[in-house]
Amino acid sequence: MPRPVARVLTLLELLQSGGIRTAAELADRLDVDERTVRRYVDHLLDLDVPVESVRGRYGGFRLATGYRMPPLMLSDDEALAVLLGLVAARRAGLTTAMGTASETAVAKIRRVLPERLGRRLDAVSGSLSFTTPPAGEAVAAESTVLLPITDAVRHHRPIAIRYTAADGRRSERTVHPYGVVAHSGKWYLTAADLTAEGDRTFRLDRITDVRTLPGSFEPPAGVDPAKRVLTGLATAPYRHEVTLRVRGTAEEIHARLPAGIAIVEEPSSVDEADAADPTVERWSRVDLRVDRLDWLPAVLASLDRPFVIDRPDELRELVVEFAERLGNLGRRGSAHL
């Protein structure tokens, strides 16, 4: 696209964002002089775009009130950002009061996008999983990585990726992608790693290049990408391996120890009568892999459930010290303040 035409379209996008834009501001954004800005405004007027000139100290240019915008002109990253925002809002329950508003919004955006981009966004919306409703921390993803990966997930195509591990080691891998999962502010790809001959979880922000390969593959039956990511994170190698026995069900324990950091196994052999009796104590095994132990005593205390530490001995000592500190604080009176 010739640069003057591109700048005229950029000017239209700036005016579409609303408000009055001064000639100086527009000249700075377009990297031209103010005289050229006025010439670009004349181009828009020739195209029947109602640009108004506002005089005065705070004057400038704006679009006429009630002007109906032309079809959307979104870049890949812009379209992806809109789609992810709508999907995340729906998963978080933020659009419940509006019924199907988010779904109809996605459909309208899809209709006015170029077919190439529309097909790729269809692949994104059909390939995403969330471990929990999105909240708080924003999830970012580069379209140059997310779009080709989700397309490969949807069509069961192998891909080659360039990956940088947490320790800085770089590698090229061939994988069969199963799904893309958002978890705790990060995107993860779960896949069969043909290079290492095993299932792996990759962080998307550490993938620098994606290339779709010829052929196709058949994913395992009943594959659950979100569950695989959580299991992969919980079993990743860390400095300390912790094993506990906690009284309670997996659901009760996961309320305080999320699946991303803990694997909870309920006893497999439970008598049906005991399972239905709420007075019978049920103990579950909990496995964690962590880099540090100092935060665990407070978390274990917050469980408000009986527990037994099988390993490591260091954690037992930390829990005893934590309990002693709490006891000393609880016995302190106002005279000590």
At residue 172's C-alpha, the angle toward residues 168 and 175, to 5°, is 120
pLDDT of res. 175: 94
CB within 8 Å of 48: residues ≥ 6 apart = none
DSSP 170-214: EEEEEEEEEEEEEETTEEEEEEEETTTTEEEEEEGGGEEEEEEPS
The answer to whether the bond into 312 is cis (omega within 30° of 0) is yes
Secondary structure percentages of the chain, helix, strand, coil, to 5: 45, 25, 35
Q: What is the pTM of this model?
A: 0.49
Tokens of 322: 């934590």
How many angstroms separate the CA atoms of 82 and 107, rounded?
A: 12
The tens-digit pLDDT sequence of the chain (337 residues) is 445 777 888 888 788 777 888 988 899 888 899 999 999 999 888 888 888 988 877 778 988 876 665 555 667 677 767 766 776 665 555 444 444 556 666 666 666 667 777 777 777 766 766 665 544 444 556 677 888 898 898 889 999 999 988 777 899 999 999 988 887 677 888 899 998 778 888 988 899 899 999 999 998 888 888 888 777 776 666 778 889 999 988 888 888 887 667 888 887 655 544 455 555 578 999 988 787 888 889 888 888 889 999 988 999 999 999 999 988 888 776 555 5
Domains of the chain: 3-63 (1.10.10.10), 76-232 (2.30.30.520), 237-331 (3.30.70)
| Residue 323 CA to its chain's centroid (Å) | 37
At residue 221's C-alpha, the angle toward residues 215 and 227, to 5°, is 105
How many angstroms separate the CA atoms of 323 and 309, rounded?
A: 15
How many angstroms separate the CA atoms of 35 and 43, rounded?
A: 13
How many angstroms separate the CA atoms of 116 and 286, rounded?
A: 47
Sign of the Cα pseudo-torsion (13, 91, 235, 244, in order) = positive
b/e string for 108-147 if b means 16 or more Cβ within 10 A? Answer: ebbeebeeebeebbbbbeebbbebeebeeeebebbbebbb
Return left, alpha or beta for 199; rule: phi > 0 is left, psi -120 to 50 is alpha, else beta. beta
